[in-house]
């Protein structure tokens, strides 16, 4: 028995935390993406949506608390799992062969880290506004802020890459949620994996459509 | 040698219950003061160790594998017999008893076999309660199938791996006790000697295979459940590690070895493919239900592909010789018939050692009649296994099969209580000789192992312990232990130091070749005498030229192998001697001089007895003693399958 | 598959010449690879028979042999354990090392042979590892408590065929450890899942269901196995083709047991054993 076994959370316990927090975050990105798509309806729609959010601080902060807690839990269990799993592998074989594990499953920690970096940048940009892209104060004018940001190809590029990684992360993550909560069997495995992959692409394409539209000049 | 079978008086059906009622007991509070050593963790060993611990004894269990779950009981495929009569086809304890006695060709002890049939039903109850996933009918009841040597369906099974499932049941019971601290489990420990104090078995000496430490263990009683000696033939269906060392070391300490010449050859195994082969693989006997066995009529056709040999040039020899049983002739008879045609030079397949040793098992007629899907459903896993090993597709060309050694009926002599002639040394499972006579019926090995472990040894060992009392256990510091440890250490060092030039495996192969040729499916006087001379010469060469690489302080497979081969060499001589001195044919022991048109000819007047061999010293031939077999209940009859 | 080539042995059988990189490690020391050449390997030989040939060649040279675990050589005891070219039990799916035959390799091929690699399976010597962590998991709860002689009549409890078959699917696990060795996390969830499922599915296993699940998972975690992240490599390398279903069901049973434990009035369940 290892020394810290009493304070070490159980493996399956960590995975359940991972799955549930992941589920919250996956739900959030769907909502966030839906809101973002208001960009296509024009500045009034999205600016009104942003204003409505800020006009309901109770709801906004409630959601933020849940999201912060989920993010912290997700990152914490992710770090724990990664470190423990590296140790348990004891270096692994000299020749590494993979028969079945998908690219998305093998890149979870990496896609996670990039998404985290993106999240930090994204919050600094839009929420804390300490990164000023476009050089102006936008106030409530979210639409203009987005257009200004994505008009810079580097910003749009980082955004698109991050969203593709998010797609990868989600396609394994959502599929894992079913497995971890015990809601999967051999008969449903393929179908649920397809649902997870479709969800990943839905989210990613939804988000990516906006910088693409800005770069292509569809949104000005 | 004193051989008192201690069979209780009274009618055969009442012997066990009467005996149980009279046996002595040990007070529950006192049980933990007794130390029981169990060597071997197969069905008999695991079951016994778990049961002793449940009763409250302090138990130590030893096995050479890395986990008790790997004992070779795990490899049994077919099933386990029990007289439940769930099929309403007229089965009963008495019928199972009679089938087993007849199957054993009237060379088993009546009272033991009756007890085996009696406890068979409790075994199924016990295993089901442990969670053994036996096959079931749609209604939720247990399913049965039929097996060789019986006219009723009394075999319980779990897919093709009944052995693994039963062993996992016993292993789980054992594991529960290990977890509870009542059994101390020593894996990767090999028993290398038995220690006697005052003529009683009081402990063992083991070598820790990982660290090389040689250690003595004192106890109040020693129970050996160390399996059979089939690997004396080098090639057999046994696991690589199966060995005779534990029982042979006990034999050297005075335990009688009973009927070593009774070995069973299974007819449907995959043939030998080359000189470097290490193992023969058994395929379920059920294949003979739909396969037809044949060889070419003409030697010249043996090199041709089977498809180029027309129907009229094929010899369906089992159907020809045994028209009423045909391809379903019993194991020993089918095996011998295959050997005969191969000896005539009509075998098929690769030439190994100058001979083609294989016969066809052809499914083309069945495939034509029933269609490939039906055959695939019945035997798909076996066909896959065959293709995996041979690279041949048996749907398109006939399988090749040949008999192989897979079970040994002989073993340490035990009385009705499963106690050897050394007080305090009990022997269970394949390691003892007690229940199968000269031939074992299919699905009876698992039954016997579990019967001994769960339902016989716990009673009889308790009776023994109640008799020796609480003051009997010596210290490992006693001179007998010191001397035994020293002997094992010296032998180990001798192996490591000997500047030889030949590997243990090469000796083992040579030994196997001799006993398979001369003491295998068919034996004769001249051959056996020659074999004994050859084995003595091989033995002398071994003790001069054996080379053991590796070091004594860590895993040393060559050292383990050398020790086991050394014992097999001595044992092989005893086995040939036993075959030589049994001037009759019975069950698995077929002396070509004693046959009636190819059928085994028993000599009940002279040989209705157990032959028990007593060790006389290194390099000396053992001496034969006998225990007469008294049949109070059944009559001798001749087996015929024509 | 074997290429066409001219190497035939005395039985007219094709043979291979191989280059072998085999792990060598003494007890308590660091390990390294050793390179050996081995000629005239019949394609009909099993992988372990090829290793026997290599060892016999080493004995002729007076060198120590490679220790490796093996016993039944018919794919059921679960003792053999070699990582061959990075794959536990080698390139052929659904078989153990002992059932892998040399016709699956090419003449002149370089084969890398390593032990199972996992923290919970320390190397004893060369290719042999200590898998007693598996036994400890079973000792913690992988049983149904039934004393010898205390069982009721076997047909008293009806078990639907589908339930018995499902339990049997899980019970086919041979405890070899290829799931751990193939897992990029060194996780034992397939083994533990198979063992827990076998007993938790059956009616006989219900009284100890929660206690068994919690105790076995705890012991598994303490043994130093990694956490499952749903790679699926274990199923792909399992010689008995046990599926990830057993892990999904283990997760469900664990969640159920934790919830039940949380709301139970008696507090924590007792540990395994008696």
Residue B208: the pLDDT is: 98
Q: Name, in order, each residue with C-beta under 8 angstroms of B529's C-beta and a sequence gap of 6 or more.
A: B580
Instruction: Residue A156: give the domain boundaries.
Output: 11-84+105-216
Q: Which of B212-226, B463-477, B479-493 has the lowest mean pLDDT?
A: B463-477
Mutate to test the interface with C, among B78, B240, B305 (most CBs of C within 10 A): B240
Q: Which two tokens stand for residue B476?
A: 């490992």
- pLDDT value of residue A129: 85
pLDDT band at C130 (very low <50, low <70, confident <90, very high): very high
Quick one: pLDDT band at residue B150, thresholds 50, 70, 90?
Answer: confident
Say whether pLDDT at C254 is over 60. yes
How far are the Cα atoms of A160, A193, B43, B250, C150 from residue A201, in angstroms, in the given order?
12, 12, 55, 71, 58
Strands B359-362 and B292-296 turn out to be antiparallel
Reply yes or no on whether the pLDDT at A133 is more than 80. Answer: no
DSSP state of B74: G
Given a contact as 3+ CB pairs under 8 Å, which chains touch A? C
- Domain ranges in chain C are 15-125, 131-263
Tokens describing residue C203: 């009616």
Per DSSP, the residues of C142-174 read -S----TT-PPPGGGS---HHHHHHHHHHHT--
| pLDDT for position A6 | 47
d(CA B582, CA B107): 12
Q: Chain B window 171-190: which residues touch C at a Cβ cutoff of 8 Å?
A: 171-173, 175-176, 178-181, 185, 187
Question: Where are the alpha helices (H) located in B287-347, listed in sequence order?
Answer: 317-321, 331-343
Task: Report the residue from C220, C228, C237 with minimal CB separation from A15.
Answer: C228
Q: What separation in angstroms does the CA of C243 have from each of A101, B240, C236?
A: 14, 30, 9
CATH architecture of C15-125: Roll (3.10)
* Dihedral Cα B217, B221, B223, B224, nearest 10 deg: 50
Of B180, B240, B506, the CB nearest to C73: B240
pLDDT tier at A9 (50, 70, 90 boundaries)? confident
Task: Kindly report, residue by residue over C137-161, the tens digit of the pLDDT.
Answer: 999 999 999 999 999 999 999 999 9
Indicate whether A97 belongs to any domain: no
Instruction: Give the pLDDT band of residue A1 (cuts 50, 70, 90).
Output: very low
Q: In terms of CA atoms, which chain C residue is nearest residue B139?
A: C160
Measured between CA atoms, the residue of chain A closest to residue C22 is A94
Interchain CB distance below 8 Å, C78 and B70: yes
pLDDT of residue C134: 98
Q: pLDDT confidence of B326, banded at 50, 70, 90?
A: confident
CA nearest neighbour of B268 among B252, B278, B281, B249: B281
Distance from the C229 Cα atom to the nearest Cα atom in chain B, whole angstroms:
28
| Contact flag B131-C167 (C-beta cutoff 8 Å) | yes
Predicted pLDDT of residue A131? 78
Any CB–CB contact under 8 A between B393 and chain C?
Answer: no
Q: Which residues of C touch B50 (CB under 8 A)?
A: 148
Please tell me the predicted confidence (pLDDT) of residue C2.
Answer: 41
Contact, B455 vs C149, CB < 8 A? yes
A107 contacts in chain C (CB < 8 Å): none
- For chain C, the average pLDDT equals 93
- The answer to whether position A33 is within a domain reads yes
CB contact under 8 A, B129 and C150: yes
Question: Which has the closest alpha carbon to B123: B109, B142, B101, B104?
Answer: B142
DSSP-derived letter for residue B474 is P
Specify if A90 maps to a domain. Answer: no
The rounded percent of chain A whose pLDDT value lies above 70 is 95
**B touches C, CB cut-off 8 Å, minimum 3 pairs:** yes
pLDDT at A130 exceeding the cut of 60:
yes
**Does A66 have pLDDT greater than 80?**
yes
Asked if C87 and A91 come within 8 Å (Cβ–Cβ), the reply is no
Annotated catalytic sites of B, by residue? 331
Query: Is the pLDDT at A4 greater than 50, yes or no?
Result: no
Query: Which residue is closest to B158 within chain C, CA to CA?
Result: C168
C55 sits in which H/E element: helix C47-60
Residue C4 banded pLDDT, cuts 50, 70, 90 = very low
- pLDDT (tens digit, 9 = 90+) per residue, C71-121? 999 999 999 999 999 999 999 999 999 999 999 999 999 999 999 999 999
Query: Shortest Cα distance from B426 to chain C (angstroms)?
Result: 19
Per-residue pLDDT tens over the stretch B573-619: 999 999 999 999 999 999 999 998 778 899 999 999 999 999 999 99
Question: Does B455 have pLDDT greater than 80?
Answer: yes
Nearest by CB to C71, from B130, B140, B240: name it: B240
- Test B551 with C64 for CB contact under 8 angstroms: yes
State how far residue B199 is from chain C, nearest Cα, in angstroms: 32
Q: pLDDT class for B374, splitting at 50, 70, 90?
A: confident
Q: Do C42 and B69 touch (CB under 8 A)?
A: no
Q: Considering only CB atoms, which chain A residues are within 8 Å of C255? A: 12, 16, 181-182
* A106 interaction partners in chain C (CB closer than 8 Å): 184, 231
CA distances (Å), origin C248, targets A100, B143, B474, C143, C189: 17, 30, 53, 21, 10
- What average pLDDT does the structure give for chain A? 92
Which pLDDT value is given to residue A7? Answer: 53
Domains and CATH numbers, chain B: 15-264+407-468 (3.50.50.60), 266-405 (3.90.700.10), 483-628 (1.20.58.100)
Instruction: Test C245 with A5 for CB contact under 8 angstroms.
Output: no
For residue B288, CA distances in Å to B360, B395, B609 come to 11, 15, 34
The predicted model gives A99-108 an average pLDDT of 95
- The fraction of chain B above a pLDDT of 90, given in percent, is 86
Chains A, C: CB contacts within 8 A come to: 149
Q: Which residues of chain C are within 8 Å of residue B65 when distances are taken between CB atoms?
A: 71, 77, 79
Please report residues of C whose CB lies closer than 8 A to that of A176. Answer: 229-230
Residue contact B70–C124, C-beta within 8 A: no
Nearest residue of B to residue C168, measured between CA atoms: B133
For residue A21, how many other CB atoms are within 10 A of its CB? 22
- Among A133-147, B128-142, B248-262, B612-626, the least confident range: A133-147
- Find the range with the poorest average confidence among B380-389, B424-433, B581-590, C126-135: B380-389
| CB < 8 Å to C244, chain A | 179, 184, 186, 189
C62 contacts B136? CB cut-off 8 A: no
- Chain C positions in Cβ-Cβ contact with residue A85 (cut-off 8 Å): 184-187, 226-227, 229
* CA–CA min distance A22, chain C (Å): 13
Total count of domains within chain A = 1
- Structure confidence at residue A134 as a pLDDT band (50, 70, 90): low
Residue B496 has pLDDT above 90, yes or no: yes
Terminal CA-to-CA distance of chain C, rounded, Å? 53
Residue bearing the bigger pLDDT, A133 or B636: B636
pLDDT tens-digit map of A159-169: 999 999 999 99
Residues on chain B touching C43 (C-beta within 8 angstroms): 391
Is the Cβ pair C125, B276 closer than 8 Å? no
Residue C12 has pLDDT above 80, yes or no: no
Give residue for tokens 């109040």. B220
B523 and B531 Cβ atoms separated by less than 8 Å: no
Mean pLDDT of B516-524: 94
Question: What average pLDDT does this structure show over A10-38?
Answer: 96
Q: Which chains touch B (3 or more CB pairs under 8 A)?
A: C
What is residue C1's predicted lDDT score, i.e. its pLDDT? Answer: 40
Q: How confident is the model at residue A158 (pLDDT cuts 50, 70, 90)?
A: very high
Identify the band that residue B351 occupies on the pLDDT scale cut at 50, 70 and 90: confident
Q: How does residue B350 score in pLDDT terms, banded at 50, 70 and 90?
A: confident
Residue A138 has pLDDT above 80, yes or no: no
CA–CA separation, C147 vs C142, rounded Å?
A: 15
- Window from B170-174, B631-635, C175-179 with minimum mean pLDDT: B631-635
- How distant, in Å, are the alpha carbons of A177, B272, C11, C45, C147 from that of B351? 58, 9, 6, 15, 53
The secondary structure element, H or E, covering residue B543 is: helix B525-545
Q: Say yes or no for a CB contact (<8 Å) between C221 and A10.
A: yes
B378, two tokens: 């019945």
Give the per-residue pLDDT at B324: 79
Segment among A182-191, B51-60, C3-12, C53-62 with least mean pLDDT: C3-12
Q: In chain B, positions 9-68, which contact chain C (CB-CB < 8 Å)?
A: 47, 50-51, 54, 65-68
Is C204 in contact with B458 (Cβ distance < 8 A)? no
The Cα–Cα gap between B570 and B611 comes to 17
**Architecture of domain C131-263 in CATH?**
Orthogonal Bundle (1.10)
Cα–Cα distance for residue pair B548/B555, rounded to 1 Å: 13
> Which of A16, A84, A100 is facing C236, going by the closest CB pair?
A100
Residues in C closer than 8 angstroms to A93, CB to CB, are: 83, 86, 114, 117, 181
Q: Across residues B216-232, what is the average pLDDT?
A: 98
């Amino acid at each position: 028995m290892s020394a810290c076994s009493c304070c070490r959370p159980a493996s399956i316990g960590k995975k359940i935390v991972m799955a549930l927090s992941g589920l919250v975050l996956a739900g959030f990105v769907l909502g966030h993406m839906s809101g973002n798509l208001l960009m296509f309806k024009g500045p009034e729609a999205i600016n009104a949506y942003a204003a409505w959010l800020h006009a309901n601080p109770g709801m906004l902060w409630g959601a933020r608390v849940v999201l912060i807690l989920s993010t912290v839990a997700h990152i914490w269990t992710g770090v724990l799992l990664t470190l423990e799993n590296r140790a348990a592998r004891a270096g692994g074989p000299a020749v590494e062969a993979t028969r079945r594990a998908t690219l998305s499953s093998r890149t979870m920690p990496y896609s996670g880290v990039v998404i985290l970096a993106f999240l930090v940048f994204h919050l600094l940009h839009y929420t804390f506004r300490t990164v000023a892209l476009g050089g102006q104060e936008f106030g409530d004018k979210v639409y203009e802020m987005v257009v200004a940001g994505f008009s810079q190809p580097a910003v749009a590029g980082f955004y698109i890459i991050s969203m593709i990684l998010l797609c990868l992360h989600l396609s394994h993550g959502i599929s894992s949620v079913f497995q971890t909560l015990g809601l999967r069997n051999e008969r449903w495995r393929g179908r649920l994996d397809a649902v997870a992959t479709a969800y990943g692409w839905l989210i990613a394409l939804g988000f990516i459509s906006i910088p693409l539209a800005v770069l292509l000049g569809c949104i000005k | 040698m004193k051989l008192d079978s201690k069979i209780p008086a009274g009618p055969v059906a009442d012997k066990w219950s009467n005996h149980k009622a009279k046996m002595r007991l040990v007070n529950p509070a006192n049980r933990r003061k007794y130390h029981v050593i169990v060597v071997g963790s197969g069905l008999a060993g695991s079951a016994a160790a778990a049961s002793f611990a449940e009763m409250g004894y302090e138990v130590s269990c030893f096995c050479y594998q890395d986990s008790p779950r790997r004992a070779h009981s795990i490899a049994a495929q077919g099933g386990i017999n029990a007289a439940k009569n769930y099929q309403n086809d007229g089965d009963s304890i008495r019928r199972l008893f009679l089938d087993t006695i007849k199957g054993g060709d009237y060379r088993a002890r009546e009272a033991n076999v009756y007890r085996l049939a009696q406890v068979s039903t409790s075994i199924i109850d016990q295993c089901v309660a442990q969670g053994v996933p036996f096959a079931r009918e749609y209604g939720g009841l247990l399913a049965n199938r039929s097996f060789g040597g019986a006219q009723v369906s009394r075999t319980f099974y779990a897919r093709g791996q009944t052995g693994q499932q039963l062993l996992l049941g016993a292993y789980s019971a054992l594991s529960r006790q290990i977890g509870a601290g009542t059994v101390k489990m020593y894996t990767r420990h090999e028993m290398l000697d038995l220690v006697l104090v005052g003529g009683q078995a009081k402990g063992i000496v083991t070598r820790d295979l990982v660290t090389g430490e040689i250690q003595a263990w004192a106890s109040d009683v020693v129970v050996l459940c160390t399996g059979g000696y089939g690997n004396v033939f080098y090639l057999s269906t046994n696991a690589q590690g199966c060995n005779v060392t534990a029982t042979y070391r006990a034999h050297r300490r005075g335990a009688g070895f009973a009927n070593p010449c009774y070995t069973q050859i299974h007819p449907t195994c995959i043939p030998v493919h080359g000189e470097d082969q290490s193992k023969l693989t058994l395929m379920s006997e059920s294949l003979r239900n739909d396969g037809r066995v044949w060889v070419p009529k003409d030697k010249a056709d043996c090199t041709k592909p089977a498809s180029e040999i027309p129907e009229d040039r094929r010899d369906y020899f089992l159907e020809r010789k045994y028209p009423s049983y045909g391809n379903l002739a019993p194991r020993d008879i089918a095996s011998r018939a295959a050997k005969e045609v191969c000896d005539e030079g009509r075998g098929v397949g690769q030439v190994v050692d100058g001979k083609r040793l294989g016969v066809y098992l052809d499914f083309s007629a069945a495939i034509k009649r029933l269609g490939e899907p039906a055959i695939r459903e019945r035997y798909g896993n076996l066909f896959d296994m065959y293709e995996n090993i041979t690279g041949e597709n048996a749907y398109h060309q006939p399988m090749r099969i040949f008999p192989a050694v897979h079970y040994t009926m002989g073993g340490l002599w035990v009385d009705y209580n499963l106690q050897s002639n050394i007080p305090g040394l009990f022997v269970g499972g394949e390691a003892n000789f007690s229940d199968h006579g000269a031939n074992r019926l299919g699905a009876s090995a698992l039954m016997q192992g579990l019967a001994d472990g769960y339902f016989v040894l716990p009673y009889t060992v308790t009776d023994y312990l109640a008799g020796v009392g609480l003051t009997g256990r010596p210290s490992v510091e006693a001179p007998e232990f010191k001397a035994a440890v020293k002997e094992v250490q010296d032998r180990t060092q001798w192996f490591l130091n000997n500047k030889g030039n030949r590997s243990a495996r090469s000796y083992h192969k040579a030994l196997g070749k001799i006993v398979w040729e001369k003491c295998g499916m068919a034996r004769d006087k001249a051959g056996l005498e020659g074999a004994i001379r050859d084995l003595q010469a091989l033995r002398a060469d071994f003790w001069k030229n054996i080379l053991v690489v590796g070091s004594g302080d860590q895993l040393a497979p060559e050292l383990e192998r050398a020790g086991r081969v050394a014992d097999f060499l001595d044992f092989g001589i005893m086995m040939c001697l036993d075959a030589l001195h049994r001037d009759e044919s019975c069950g698995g022991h077929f002396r070509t001089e004693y046959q009636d048109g190819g059928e085994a000819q028993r000599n009940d007047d002279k040989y209705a007895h157990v032959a028990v061999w007593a060790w006389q010293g290194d390099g000396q031939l053992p001496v034969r003693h006998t225990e007469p077999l008294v049949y109070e209940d059944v009559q001798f009859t001749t087996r015929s399958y024509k | 598959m074997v290429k066409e080539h001219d190497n035939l042995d005395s039985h007219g059988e094709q043979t291979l010449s191989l280059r072998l990189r085999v792990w060598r490690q003494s007890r308590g020391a660091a390990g390294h690879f050793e390179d050996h050449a081995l000629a005239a390997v019949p394609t009909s030989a099993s992988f372990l028979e090829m290793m026997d040939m290599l060892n016999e060649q080493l004995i002729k040279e007076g060198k120590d042999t490679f220790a490796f675990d093996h016993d039944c050589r018919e794919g059921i005891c679960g003792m053999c354990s070699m990582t061959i070219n990075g794959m536990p039990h080698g390139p052929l799916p659904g078989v153990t090392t002992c059932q892998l035959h040399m016709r699956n390799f090419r003449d002149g091929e370089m084969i890398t042979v390593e032990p199972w690699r996992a923290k919970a399976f320390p190397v004893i010597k060369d290719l042999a590892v200590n898998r007693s962590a598996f036994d400890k998991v079973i000792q913690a709860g992988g049983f149904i408590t039934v004393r010898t002689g205390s069982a009721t009549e076997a047909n008293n409890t009806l078990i639907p065929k589908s339930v018995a078959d499902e339990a049997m699917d899980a019970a086919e696990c041979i405890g070899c450890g290829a799931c751990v060795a193939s897992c990029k996390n060194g996780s034992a969830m397939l083994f533990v899942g198979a063992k827990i499922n076998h007993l938790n599915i059956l009616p006989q296993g219900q009284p100890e269901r929660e206690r068994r699940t919690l105790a076995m998972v705890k012991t598994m975690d303490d043994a130093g196995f990694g956490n499952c992240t749903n790679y699926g490599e274990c199923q792909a390398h399992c010689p008995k083709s046990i599926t990830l279903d057993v892990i999904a069901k283990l997760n469900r049973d664990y969640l159920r047991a934790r919830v039940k434990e949380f709301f139970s009035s008696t507090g924590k369940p007792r540990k395994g054993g008696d």
